[in-house]
Amino acid sequence: MLASVESEVRLPLPGPNATGEELFKMGLLYSTGQGGAPLDFVSAHMLFNLAAMRGSEAAKAYRKELSQEMGSEEVAEAQRAAREWLARG
């Protein structure tokens, strides 16, 4: 039971005006499972992708490295999530 509760824990996503640096920092939390965020590579990739789109060079490097640890389905899921986030903004 505890594992299912932990898997549903999510930090609030940054708002549509978030900077690349803010998105990058949140991506770091998800990629390491720190700061109250679960270890979630899909969310981390999504956030690094958004941060890269907003000018974060560090996010580009982290996104590339992380994608090498993920399956193609997970990368596709992260990309869909990024598009959805942009559409809501």
For residues 61-84, give the mean pLDDT.
Answer: 96
Q: Write down the pTM of the prediction.
A: 0.87
Tell me how far apart the alpha carbons of residues 69 and 35 are, in angstroms, rounded to a whole number. 22
For residues 68-88, give the mean pLDDT.
Answer: 95
Question: How confident is the prediction for the chain on average, in pLDDT?
Answer: 89
Pair of tokens at residue 28: 């770091």
